[in-house]
Structure 1
């Protein structure tokens, strides 16, 4: 009978990948991958529409804060708060509700593109197809 390190079925006893930089994980977290996707979509759209958008602040939050008297059965995927004066417009994308609706990365990319494009289209007062040609209404 051979003895193995996993003799009580607890799984691996250390990281699967040793980090190149000590103290910093080698593999990125789901949150970091989500933030990178949002950043790539926002960067493209912001470069294309910067003159008309003006100052817009983009953010990612885990979940929306829903009031106790919320009557809708659906959870918001994003929030758009229009700026006034020196206050910038703020577009917030909610990570957990979006991830919950997506099974694979391609679904996540499509959902993020849809959510961000629709909010920017609302802000500009144009159709989503004009904001980004990749937009497909489902």
Structure 2
């Protein structure tokens, strides 16, 4: 009986068909190609939120920054009827205020990640200015 080549016997035949070794992902986890749009957007918001912290000071240190996919279906009566890209939610008590950025409306208005970052900076600056009751031009993110 001739010798049996182990590459062509048993279940390993399907995994390593041509003897080239196991296949892996095309890009490894630290490579940007493996990051989702949601993760990229969250990092942009975190970066902009850290830039906004000095403007908020001690009085508004409890302000939270949040990301939601889409705005609620019923906008507030004083808001425009188009999909908002961000909102300042005043919360009473010890919780503090919350600035919410809506990911989908921001991404639909932008062509690339550079524009996404610019829109997020603009939205956060508008919401921080509204919270502090100052002109938007005083907030430089």
- TM-score norm. by structure 2 comes to 0.71
Cα displacement (A) at 1:14? 6.9
C-alpha distance in structure 2 between counterparts of 1:69 and 1:90, whole Å: 16
Select the residue among 49, 67, 74 that pairs with 2:56. Answer: 49
Q: Give yes or no for the alignment of 1:119 onto 2:127.
A: yes
CA contact (8 A) 1:52 1:124 kept: no
Select the residue among 17, 22, 26 that pairs with 1:16. Answer: 26
- Classify the secondary structure of the residue corresponding to 2:34: coil
- Quote the residue 2:45 is aligned against: 38
Shift in CA distance, 31/52, structure 1 to aligned 2, threshold 3 Å:
same
Q: Give yes or no for the alignment of 1:82 onto 2:128.
A: no
Cα displacement (A) at 1:52? 3.9
Cα displacement (A) at 1:92? 0.7
Q: Post-superposition, which runs of at least 4 consecutive aligned residues in structure 1 deviate over 6 A?
A: 68-71
Which of 1 and 2 has greater Rg?
A: 2
The one-character-per-residue Cα deviations of 1:6-60 (angstroms, maximum 9, x if unpaired) are xxxxxxx97322457xxxx971111000000010011011134322423101100
- Any stretches of 5+ residues in structure 2 without a counterpart? 1-22
Aligned pairs, how many?
117
Shift in CA distance, 68/33, structure 1 to aligned 2, threshold 3 Å:
closer
